[in-house]
């Protein structure tokens, strides 16, 4: 399938620190963050609110510079967003003046992909995320779950090797979330992309990830990395699932 | 009992709405009623006043028809349009462009801020001297006054619109491969700010009809000139006639623009 040519990417996070100046003095948001992601891996960053995971996400995406340290994506330092990564936010951030089709086509248009190839690819992606029939709808006409599908298709369109997702399913209802999680796993398997997925939901992390990077607060730092050795699809009813869940939760609370 | 009334109201609402025409009959009927009341009050008031203070609605209607039939009205309208159109277009384009540029660039904003703040409170009418000196007593001079008025409204509307564009949308666009500022402005900033920009244009168009009168104060012919001359001659019926012409023109243009706006902003 044409959606599938870039393999996953390698990400190295090296000694990332982040400090903010506030009225109360300097705040240490992130301290000494180190981890590595191999090509095609699915990583979840999990932690309570205030642990700096969104800050780390923004640094990974090149939206914010670290105070020290660096993020290395496929061998080069990340300083600003680039087309090697597709970014998906919790609040979707679709272009409201564009239809589903136009939103998905945005990046391809910027890359000067010829029109025929573009529309073919856009249609493939729309089918992939299950939005056939809504090509000409505007974002205001879509539900939260549908908007997030569009955002995902839009991010996949430019064929990034890394998919960065910040609590992407945090704003949808529980049933939709479960459906989107399953679909994301399918898409990930089909496209071999590296996925970095931020969430505060331990269950979601255990359900999705190859490895869970567990963060704690004061200062935001890594408490441990848990490898989830369970076959997919994973079930919460599985006792082993429960053990992993406990382990991750205990790490957060230490 | 209460639900009966509610049902009846709902049924009434259903029967009075003609959604395929976009016309709400109930509102239209109320509007016509209000208008009738206004004209009646005007008529009663006019009974106790001489014509040069307040002519009756009928007298104004007669004058309106005779003025229209004589061709005077079309002449005046044609003259006013010759500075209203170029003034509005030039002022709008410059205002929108400047507003977007300063709303986007912190540097340009900082550089121009003192000048902008100095010039902003100057009423267009105060610039008549410049209009005469730079362009003369002609359509260009009048268009200049109108353009100044259109400029500020559009400048502030666009400036505010651009300032309000969410950084997140810009981040998304960058991650999808948009590199240059110009490209960001074209493909994200302008569409995202288009509701504010459109509101500015629409407000500006209305304000420019008001400025038509002011812009003709120094002798340029048109509707405003007619109003001023008729005022001097105490021909109040003629004054009201041309005020009505202005209102109707405004209504016409505003209705057309509103339809355009609705179509452009269909995504909202």
Q: What percent of chain A has pLDDT over 90?
A: 75
Q: How many CB atoms lie within 10 A of CB B17?
A: 15
User: Average pLDDT in the A40-63 region?
Assistant: 92
HEC-encoded secondary structure of B237-248: HHHHHHHHHHHH
For testing the chain B interface, which of A82, A93, A165 should be mutated: the one with the most B CBs within 10 Å?
A93
Q: Say if B25 is an interface residue toward chain A (CB within 8 Å).
A: no
Neighbours of A87 (CB within 10 A): 27
Q: What is the mean pLDDT of residues A125-150?
A: 94
pLDDT tops 50 at residue A1: no
Nearest Cα residue to B153 out of B90, B92, B84, B100: B92
Q: Which segments of A23-64 are extended strands (E)?
A: 25-37, 42-46
Q: Enter the tokens of residue A203.
A: 């269950």
Cα distance between residue A30 and residue A18, in whole Å: 5
Measured CA distances, B50 to A39, B43, B59 (Å): 91, 12, 12
Going from the C-alpha of B27 to that of each of B8, B157, B256, the distances in angstroms are 17, 30, 20
Which pLDDT score is estimated for A233?
87
Q: Is the pLDDT of residue A112 over 80?
A: yes
Q: In the prediction, which pLDDT does B16 show?
A: 52
CA-based nearest residue in chain A for residue B195: A97
Q: Which ranges of A6-165 does DSSP label H, i.e. alpha helix? A: 53-60, 100-110, 115-128, 144-157
Work out the minimum CA distance from B191 to partner chain A, whole angstroms: 7
* Contact criterion met (CB < 8 Å) for B176 and A93: no
pLDDT of A124 strictly over 90 = yes
CB A217 within 8 A of CB A47: yes
Q: What confidence tier does B84 reach under pLDDT thresholds 50, 70, 90?
A: very high
Average pLDDT score over residue span B96-112: 95
pLDDT at site A81: 87
- Give tens-digit pLDDT for B17-58: 555 556 678 888 999 999 999 999 999 999 998 988 999 999
Question: B4 pLDDT exceeds 70?
Answer: no
Distance (Å, rounded) from C-alpha B265 to C-alpha B268?
Answer: 6
Higher pLDDT, A2 or A85: A85
Q: Assess contact for A52 and A29: CB atoms under 8 A.
A: yes
Query: Which position has the higher pLDDT, A246 or B21?
Result: A246
Q: Is the pLDDT of residue B202 over 70?
A: yes
pLDDT at A25 (0 to 100): 85
Please give the pLDDT value at position B103. Answer: 96
Percent of chain B surpassing pLDDT 90:
78
The 10s digit of each residue's pLDDT in A182-199 is 999 999 998 889 999 999
How far is it, in rounded angstroms, from Cα A20 to Cα A58? 14
Show Cβ contacts of residue A121 under 8 Å, excluding neighbours closer than 6 positions: A2, A3, A108, A113, A157
Residue B89 at interface with chain A, using a CB cutoff of 8 Å: no
pLDDT of B3 strictly over 60: no
Distance CA B156, CA B151 (A): 9
Angle between helices A174-191 and A144-157 (to 10 degrees): 20
Rounded to the nearest integer, the mean pLDDT of chain B is 90
Q: What is the pLDDT of residue A247?
A: 94
Q: How confident is the model at residue A21 (pLDDT cuts 50, 70, 90)?
A: confident
Strands (E) located in A158-234: 162-166, 194-199, 211-216, 221-227
Is B166 within 8 Å of A93 when comparing Cβ atoms?
yes
- B37 vs B219, higher pLDDT: B37
Q: Judge whether B227 and B243 are in contact, CB under 8 Å.
A: yes
User: Which is nearest to B105 in space by CA: B181, B31, B172?
Assistant: B181
What local confidence, expressed as pLDDT, does residue B8 receive? 53
**pLDDT for the residue numbered B1:** 44
Answer whether residue B2 shows pLDDT above 80. Answer: no
Residue A69: DSSP 8-state: E
Give residue for tokens 């209009």: B131
Say whether pLDDT at B14 is over 70.
Answer: no
Mean pLDDT to the nearest integer, B61-71 = 95
Residue among B172, B183, B187 minimizing CB distance to A87: B172
**CA of B7: how far to CAs of B15, B23, B25, B192, in Å?**
12, 22, 18, 42
For residue B217, give the nearest of B120, B147, B107, B126 by alpha carbon: B126
* Neighboring chain B residues of A82 at a CB cutoff of 8 Å: 175, 177
Among A85, A96, A140, whose Cβ lies nearest the Cβ of B175? A85
A96 contacts in B (CB within 8 Å)?
Answer: 192, 267-268
- B212 touches B245 (CB < 8 A): no
Chain B positions in Cβ-Cβ contact with residue A93 (cut-off 8 Å): 166, 168-169, 171-172
Q: What's the confidence (pLDDT) of residue B86?
A: 96
Please write the tens of the pLDDT for every residue from B222-258.
Answer: 999 999 999 999 999 999 999 999 999 999 999 999 9
Spatial CA neighbour of A83 closest among A66, A98, A69, A62: A62
pTM for the full predicted model: 0.84
Could you say which of A80, A107, A140 has the minimum Cβ distance to residue B176? A107
Predicted local confidence at residue B10, as pLDDT: 56
Angle between helices B72-104 and B57-70 (to 10 degrees): 90
């Amino acid at each position: 399938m044409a959606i599938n040519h870039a393999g996953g990417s390698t990400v190295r996070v090296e000694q990332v620190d982040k400090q903010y100046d506030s009225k109360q003095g300097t705040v240490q948001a992130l301290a000494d963050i180190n981890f590595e992601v191999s090509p095609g891996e699915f990583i979840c960053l999990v932690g309570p609110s205030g642990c700096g995971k969104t800050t780390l996400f923004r640094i990974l995406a090149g939206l914010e510079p670290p105070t020290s340290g660096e993020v290395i994506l496929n061998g080069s330092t990340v300083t600003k967003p680039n087309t090697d990564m597709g970014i998906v936010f919790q609040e979707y951030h679709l272009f409201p003046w564009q239809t589903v089709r136009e939103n998905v086509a945005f990046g391809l248009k910027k890359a000067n992909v010829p029109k025929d190839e573009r529309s073919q690819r856009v249609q493939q992606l729309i089918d992939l995320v299950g939005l056939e029939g809504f090509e000409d709808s505007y974002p205001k006409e879509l539900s939260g779950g549908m908007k997030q599908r569009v955002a995902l298709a839009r991010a996949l369109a430019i064929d990034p090797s890394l998919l960065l997702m910040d609590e992407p399913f945090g704003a949808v209802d529980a049933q939709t979330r479960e459906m989107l999680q399953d679909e994301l796993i399918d898409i990930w398997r089909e496209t071999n992309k590296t996925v970095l997925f931020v969430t505060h939901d331990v269950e979601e992390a255990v359900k999705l990830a190859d490895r869970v990077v567990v963060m704690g607060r004061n200062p935001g730092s890594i408490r441990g990395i848990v490898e989830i050795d369970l076959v997919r699809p994973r079930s919460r009813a599985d006792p082993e699932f429960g053990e992993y869940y406990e382990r991750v939760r205990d790490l957060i609370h230490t | 009992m209460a639900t009966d009334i509610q049902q009846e109201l709902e049924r009434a609402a259903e029967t009075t709405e003609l959604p395929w025409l976009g016309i709400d009959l109930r509102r239209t009927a109320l509007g016509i009623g209000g208008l009738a009341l206004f004209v009646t009050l005007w008529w009663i008031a006019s009974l106790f006043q001489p014509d040069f203070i307040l002519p009756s609605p009928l007298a104004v209607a007669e004058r309106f028809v005779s003025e229209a039939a004589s061709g005077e009205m079309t002449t005046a309208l044609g003259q006013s349009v010759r500075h209203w159109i170029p003034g509005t277009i030039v002022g709008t384009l410059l205002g929108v462009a400047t507003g977007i540029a300063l709303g986007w660039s912190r540097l340009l904003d900082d550089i121009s801020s003192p000048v902008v703040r100095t010039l902003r409170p100057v009423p267009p009418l105060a610039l008549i001297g410049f209009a005469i000196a730079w362009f003369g007593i002609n359509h260009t001079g009048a268009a200049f006054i109108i353009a100044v008025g259109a400029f500020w409204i559009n400048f502030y509307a666009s400036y505010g619109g651009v300032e309000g564009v969410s950084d997140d949308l810009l981040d998304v666009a960058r991650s999808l491969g948009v590199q240059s500022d110009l490209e960001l402005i074209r493909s994200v900033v302008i569409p995202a700010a288009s509701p504010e920009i459109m509101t500015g244009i629409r407000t500006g168009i209305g304000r420019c009809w008001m400025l038509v009168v002011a812009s003709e104060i120094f002798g340029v012919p048109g509707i405003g000139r007619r109003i001023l001359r008729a005022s001097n001659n105490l021909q109040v019926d003629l004054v009201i006639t041309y005020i009505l012409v202005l209102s109707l023109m405004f209504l016409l243009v505003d209705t057309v623009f509103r339809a355009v706006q609705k179509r452009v902003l269909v995504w909202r």
